[in-house]
């Protein structure tokens, strides 16, 4: 077991094992039940986001959402239900706000948090060391919210669009980006039994690469990525 196991053994919450996958469109309604569905549909996440998928498989507390040749596995509690491709949700009733209410809302709008503060808030929420989340953010984007990589990864935690969609997050919103990225990092730690190097390698190169090599893939970029983060953790007296 990795040295990080001891440092991170207190992490407990279980949510979702993520796989980076592409998106495509098909269509037919299938009821959310402990059966297999075989046509296109929308998965309605607990966050309210609607994700277009090919099909799903439900088995007790787990649900697999299939997109083309890939899939994402979620806890059933993260799914509100499923809708047919052509389903149009009823419009929610809206109570018009008076000018006075609008002015009060505008006056009380929160000031956006700095990247470091977003990292600390997400780390506390998901039970991770603050310096770990800050170090991953620094390695991913240099703490720059508008960063977009040549491969299309977005924002402070460099989320791929497909990963962000499955997590129900807007990757262009810094707060949602950091929250989703930290949750994904926590899920990877759980997937690899709190082996920090394996989780970092999966965050950088994808879980598929780690599983294929049964460990850290021999990619120079990934090896240097892990080393940078470990140096920051050691400097902060957090043993990797």
Assess contact for 85 and 42: CB atoms under 8 A: yes
Q: Which residues contact 1 (CB under 8 A, 6 or more apart)?
A: 193, 194, 195
Q: How far apart are CA 231 and CA 240, in angstroms?
A: 9
Tokens linked to 131: 């310096």
- Helix segments in the chain, DSSP class H: 4-8, 99-107, 115-126, 130-141, 161-166, 174-191, 196-205, 207-213, 220-235
Rg of the chain in Å (alpha carbons): 19
16-17 vs 70-75, strand pairing mode = antiparallel
Annotated catalytic residue 12: no
Q: Which of 83, 131, 140, 190 is catalytic?
A: 140
Q: Which strands form 50-53's sheet, in the order they lie side by side?
A: 50-53, 41-45, 79-83
Q: Which are the catalytic amino acids?
A: 140
């Amino acid at each position: 077991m990795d040295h990080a196991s001891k440092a991170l053994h207190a992490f407990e919450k279980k949510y979702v094992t993520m796989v980076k996958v592409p998106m495509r469109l098909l269509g037919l309604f299938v009821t959310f039940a402990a059966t297999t569905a075989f046509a296109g549909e929308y998965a309605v996440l607990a966050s309210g986001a609607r994700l277009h998928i090919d099909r799903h498989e439900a088995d007790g507390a787990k649900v697999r959402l299939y997109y083309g040749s890939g899939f994402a596995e979620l806890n059933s509690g993260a799914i509100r239900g499923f809708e047919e491709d052509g389903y149009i949700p009823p419009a929610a009733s809206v109570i018009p706000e008076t000018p006075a209410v609008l002015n009060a809302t505008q006056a009380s709008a929160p000031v956006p948090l700095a990247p470091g503060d977003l990292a600390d808030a997400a780390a506390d929420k998901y039970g991770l060391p603050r310096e770990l989340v800050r170090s991953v953010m620094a390695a991913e984007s240099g703490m720059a919210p508008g960063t977009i990589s040549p491969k299309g990864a977005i924002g402070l935690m460099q989320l791929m669009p497909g990963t962000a969609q499955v997590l129900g997050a807007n990757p262009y919103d810094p707060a949602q980006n950091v929250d989703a990225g930290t949750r994904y990092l926590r899920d990877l730690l759980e997937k690899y039994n709190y082996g920090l190097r394996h989780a970092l390698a999966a965050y950088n190169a994808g879980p598929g690469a780690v599983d294929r090599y049964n460990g850290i893939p021999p990619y120079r970029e990934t090896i240097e990525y892990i080393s940078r983060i470990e140096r920051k953790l050691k400097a902060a007296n957090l043993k990797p």
